[in-house]
């Protein structure tokens, strides 16, 4: 009887310890390490971003990513300026969507199904792992009837990075001209 009780006590202690392993598949430290492998630049200025394995399908996804970015370092990018994505990894396919982001970090408009209204951005591959696109006026800004001369807005970009069966999403924001 003492052996059964001793065995049960050992199991009560050992089993929880065996289940305490960590799953690093969604670990932010792995995303932070990957951030050293990606550079987003306008000229010589680096653009802050956040990297995730979850797609951006709701306002909450955008708000969470928005809070992770240092908005004090938000830069103004004039229309027509080239933005470079240096992924530092070959065989990655990149596509980019643009959103008009409000002060809370969410896109300003949704489509009829509730998905954030986006604009496809034409991305050009200019090297093995380097992509480039031009900062343009956001079509969503045309939905606003409010006009202020020289108004600046926050544009949010989501770069979808695909390699084999893995997809990562890189979110970054810049200031652009509304009109």
The domains found in the chain, sorted by start residue, are 30-177 (2.60.40)
pLDDT at 157 exceeding the cut of 90: yes
Q: How far apart are alpha carbons 49 and 47 in whole angstroms?
A: 6
- Chain mean pLDDT for the chain: 82
For 42-75, the pLDDT digits (tens) are: 999 999 999 999 999 889 999 999 999 988 889 9
For 83-127, the pLDDT digits (tens) are: 999 998 878 899 999 999 999 999 998 887 777 889 999 999 998
Average pLDDT of 124-138? 93
Pairing of strands 124-125, 93-101: unpaired
CB 80 within 8 A of CB 134: yes
Residue the block writes with tokens 């928005």: 66
CB 23 within 8 A of CB 40: no
Neighbours of 122 (CB within 10 A): 10
Residue 21 pLDDT = 35
Q: How far apart are alpha carbons 3 and 6 in whole angstroms?
A: 5
Q: What pTM, to 2 d.p., does this model score? A: 0.77
């Amino acid at each position: 009887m003492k052996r059964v009780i001793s065995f049960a006590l050992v199991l009560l202690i050992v089993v929880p310890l065996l289940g305490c392993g960590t799953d690093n598949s969604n670990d932010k430290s792995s995303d932070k390490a990957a951030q050293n492998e990606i550079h987003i630049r306008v000229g010589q200025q680096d653009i802050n971003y956040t990297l995730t394995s979850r797609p951006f399908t709701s306002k909450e996804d955008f708000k969470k990513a928005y809070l992770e970015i240092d908005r004090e370092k938000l830069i103004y990018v004039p229309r027509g300026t080239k933005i470079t994505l240096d992924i530092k990894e070959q065989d990655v396919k990149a596509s980019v969507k643009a959103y008009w982001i409000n002060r809370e970090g969410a896109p300003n408009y949704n489509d009829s199904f509730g998905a954030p209204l986006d604009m496809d951005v034409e991305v050009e591959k200019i090297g093995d792992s380097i992509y480039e696109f031009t900062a343009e006026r956001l079509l969503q800004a045309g939905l606003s009837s409010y006009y202020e001369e020289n108004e600046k807005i926050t544009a949010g970009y989501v770069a979808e990075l695909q390699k084999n069966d893995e997809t990562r999403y890189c979110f970054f924001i810049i200031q652009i001209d509304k009109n």
